[in-house]
Amino acid sequence: MIFTKKKKDISADSNKPQSLFERLKNKALDIWEYCSKGVWEDKRDTLKIRIVKTLNLTIRTFMSADLQSKACAMTYRTLLAIVPALALLFAIGRGFGFQNLLQNQVYQYLPSQRKALEMAFSFVDSCLAQASEGIFVGVGIIFLLWTLISLLDSVEESFNNIWGITADRPLARKVTDYLAIFIILPVLMICSSGLQIFMSTTIQKLLPFADITPFLGDLLDLASVALSWLFFAGAYMLIPNTKVRFQNALIAGVLAGTAFQILQWLFVTGQVYVAKYNAIYGSFSFLPLMLIWMQLSWLITLAGALVCCSSQNINMFSFEKQTDSISSGYHRKVSIAMLSVILKRFCKQEKPYNISELSAQFLIPPKLTGLVVNKLIECNLIVKLAVADGSPDETDPPLIPATSPEHYTLGHVLEVLDNHGESDFIPEFDQNFRLLTGILDKLSAQIENEAGDIRLADIQVNNIK
């Protein structure tokens, strides 16, 4: 009776209505569990789910990628290349007639550091004079460009690390691509910085009686911000050594450009208060503030690259938990199935699949598809088809069999997959486990003999096109 009464009391407590705080707490825990883990098992492809996946992957990678250290390293390299970079900007500004506009903009950004800026501009003029009027004119220009190319090479390395890319551009492509980037991106940044002043001056010259209305001023400010967005979007598309979709680069460019504009406004506003302390620190106050601004700017840039990578590759992390703990038997099934599809396309003389097409056609998680393809390549069962540089398939080339399709029987493939890697290296293992190894070898031989006549290219696949 006592036990029954206690059981009834427990049941009554479990049916007791929860308080508002407990309901909110349980709801928050459920949302956290879904956003942190469950979202990767959600097969729906809606905007809300894509945003949650992008934020999840961005935050998780931001915590593990150590972007702060990378931003510090880029700040140091930028400080070494700041004079050549300003020299290139002023050279471009002279060509477009923006030199005075550039100087005025820099003076407005740093109103309390006019003397330090005048000294920096004298360094820039000396650098340009040495590059254009020295005895070794070509050597000076090459040194100037090489300094900037080295800086951009460091930026590309940081972006490639975020994207998980190990292959670098060839040297010839680095020179051509970097020169194009140096011409396009600085022009966008110059225009975004001085568009309002330039347009206002132009309108006053063409129409002296006209006045810049607040609406037109706001419109020019918005155009300046839009050019800043395009600057970051162009950097995220052009610098990484991979194919980046414009929509993903634009989303990251909007976020990074907006954050950079806010940082720029805070930095310019802070100069007014810094001017009060110049009596104590003098021009030395310019250096730590500039270093802080550079580091925060690089942190924004790298975080934007991370958002771009995350938004484009969110499907790579679907079923990540299951992929990381996949069984060897299921991994072998998927490997043989994908190999049979590649063989069948080759035998029909149809366009071969690449990794992304295999994943989309058969609903296989992209991360698992990449792991399986890499294993098949290591086993010398398939190869990547060589494509020309600059081809759309350069980053994701088609997959074809490594040898003639007649050699791909089920027994042969099973033998290759099972025996790939190091074996028979444990001393006296076969002697100690002679009976067990004999049974396992007989089972393997029996399976391979029974499957030896089954050609993979002849196996029916329901969803193949």
C-alpha pair distances (Å), 26 with each of 18, 79, 291: 10, 50, 45
Q: Is the model's pLDDT at 445 over the cut of 70?
A: yes
Residue 197: the pLDDT is 52
**How remote is the C-alpha of 210 from its chain's centroid?**
47
Residue 98: the pLDDT is 62
* Residue pLDDT, tens place only, 353-404: 988 888 888 888 888 888 899 899 999 999 988 776 656 666 678 999 998 8
Per-residue pLDDT, averaged over 419-436, amounts to: 86
Instruction: Pick the more confident residue, 116 or 427.
Output: 427
Is the pTM higher than 0.75? The answer reads no
Domains of the chain (ranges, CATH numbers): 18-39+46-65 (no CATH), 67-316 (no CATH), 320-422+429-458 (1.10.10.10)
CB atoms within 10 A of CB 100: 11
What is the rounded CA–CA span in Å between residue 289 and residue 110? 10
Query: Is beta strand 382-384 parallel, antiparallel or unpaired with respect to 399-401?
Result: antiparallel
CB atoms within 10 A of CB 235: 26
What is the rounded CA–CA span in Å between residue 92 and residue 186? 8
Q: Is the model's pLDDT at 427 over the cut of 60?
A: yes
Residue 294: the pLDDT is 84
Residue 376: the pLDDT is 92
Q: Which residue has the tokens 């994207």?
A: 163
Q: Is the model's pLDDT at 214 over the cut of 70?
A: no
CB atoms within 10 A of CB 164: 11
Lowest mean pLDDT among 22-26, 316-320, 405-409: 316-320
Q: Mean pLDDT for the chain? A: 76
pLDDT-based confidence at 334, cuts 50/70/90?
Answer: very high
Instruction: Pick the more confident residue, 120 or 140.
Output: 120
Q: Is the model's pLDDT at 4 over the cut of 60?
A: no
Closest Cα partner for 189 from 239, 216, 229?
229
Instruction: Pick the more confident residue, 16 or 371.
Output: 371
Q: Is the model's pLDDT at 145 over the cut of 50?
A: yes
Residue 339: the pLDDT is 92
Residues in the chain: 465
Q: Highest mean pLDDT: which of 103-117, 187-201, 447-461?
A: 447-461
Per-residue pLDDT, averaged over 229-255, amounts to: 88
* Residue pLDDT, tens place only, 220-233: 667 777 878 888 99
Buried b (16+ CB within 10 A) or exposed e, 400-414: bbeeebeebbbbbbb
Main-chain phi, psi angles of 320, to 5 degrees? -65, -40
400 in helix, strand or coil?
Answer: strand
What is the rounded CA–CA span in Å between residue 305 and residue 456? 42
Closest Cα partner for 275 from 117, 122, 114?
114
Q: Is the model's pLDDT at 186 over the cut of 80?
A: no
Residue 133: the pLDDT is 56
Residue 210: the pLDDT is 47
Lowest mean pLDDT among 29-33, 73-77, 93-97, 333-337: 93-97
Per-residue pLDDT, averaged over 400-421, amounts to: 87
